[in-house]
Chain A
């Protein structure tokens, strides 16, 4: 079970992988906002062009992306169909099913386009940014905000992702051990869940104490070395592109 990839990050050496994480996150925001505000066909086309361009330079495997999109495909389809039938308007000319309105279909397609673009942008960003970078970026953005303990949050983020595979392995082992003792024969779902959750919780809580000790043994402190970011000229250029797209869409 530990094979489940929790990180979409794929290590490569491209412009996007090397890009300053802070600027990358701003680009993510700008492009997602642009997609939400897009209203005209040109907007969608420009956004789609930018995303495809990004996908090409990021050299991400298409297969992984398709997996991402598959889940949304169903939702998108439902929305298009529901909108097409439910939103009143003129029927589509020359189309046999008259209960579908042009307006409804267009609304549905818009929603689909918006969602697709946001999903792709997200895939590009997470595919090219390691979790470590992401955590450092989050810490950097939170730093100026008063009363937000940014280092503590950054530590929580790393710990969460360190713990996931460990807990997962435990869980897998536990479930196999139970299967070996024919847990499937128990039909009561409350019992079944209890057999999973109870040991899972007690094991992980025990682990928490160990982790606290291990971190203290290595002098854990919230006053710690800060990450260094490197910004290239190309990073600024990419940001400029995203800003122009955003302006184009909202103006």
Chain B
């Protein structure tokens, strides 16, 4: 059974914009899926349906085979979403407090909250910043903080919406390392990006969206040659392998 499944997902905004249309997609446990597409192709809107932030105009989302509407809190716990802009995800005055936000919402006992915060900060290597103001962190560290905030809720699936925007080379490497590590630990990963050259080597699957529709879905080495039809740069040179598409050494 797929861990995340969408059936004919369509979202039309009140102003008439058709942001996504008839998207059917199955994601299996443990997969690493990259979703690519040009600006405005509907990637963010799609991601926000997967944990019920947006409600579909038509179609449905299933998590572990159950409709998301059945237990939305459970769905949000299972499917963590790291936002495109990490600033908008920060709600705490200190790093530790921000990570605690999720578990506190789940009303865990205070000592458990503390333990899970410690664990999550260790997982992303931010322990030494726990009393710092999140606002003073670097771009890469902010992204890691956002990841820790999601990890603290013990999700099974983690969606990264454009995790590399605005990061310099070391920043990208830091975050990418973290993502690969999470995948190796057994998390299902959905990564939204149009910078395929940074990450595609780690993916099992490449999905391409175009004008709100899902237009390609398959093994990266098959799909990648079509990417330029849809406004995503084809990163391979002649004879280059997909396995070389990573910024990790």
Contact = CB atoms under 8 A, between A and B. Distances in A.
A165 B132 CA distance: 14
Contact of A219 (B97, B105, B133): B105
Interface string A114-142: 00000000000000001110000000000
B76 interface: yes
B113 interface: yes
A134 B104 CA distance: 17
A211 B91 contact: yes
Contacts of B89: 214, 217
Interface stretch (A18-26, A59-67, A69-77, A225-233): A225-233
A158 interface: yes
A207 interface: yes
Contacts of A46: none
A175 interface: no
Interface bracket on B? 35 or more
Contacts of A2: 135
Interface in B175-233: none
Contacts of B77: 219
Contact residues of A: prevailing secondary structure: helix
Interface string A215-227: 1111111011111
A214 B88 contact: yes
Contacts of B133: 165
B85 A213 contact: no
B7 to A, nearest CB: 22
A210 interface: yes
Contact of A132 (B90, B97, B134): B97
Contacts, number: 88
A216 B104 CA distance: 13
B93 A226 contact: no
Residue of A11, A130, A217 most packed against chain B (CB within 10 A): A217
B146 to A, nearest CB: 9
B117 to A, nearest CB: 11
Interface residues of A, number: 30
B109 A225 contact: yes
A226 B110 contact: yes
A162 B109 contact: no
Interface string B104-133: 111111100100000000000000000101
B88 A211 contact: yes
Given A218-B149, A219-B76, A11 B131 contact: yes
Contacts of B135: 2, 162, 165-166, 169
Contact of A224 (B81, B105, B149): B105
B87 A166 contact: yes
B78 to A, nearest CB: 11
A236 interface: no
Contact of A210 (B83, B108, B109, B150): B83
A214 B83 contact: yes
A215 B153 CA distance: 13
A207 B88 contact: yes
A159 interface: yes
A161 interface: yes
Given A162-B134, A166-B87, 20 more contacts: A11-B131, A132-B93, A132-B97, A158-B92, A165-B133, A166-B90, A210-B85, A210-B88, A211-B88, A213-B83, A213-B88, A214-B91, A217-B76, A218-B102, A219-B73, A219-B77, A219-B153, A221-B106, A223-B107, A225-B103
Closest 5 CB pairs of A and B: A210-B88, A225-B104, A218-B102, A214-B89, A165-B135
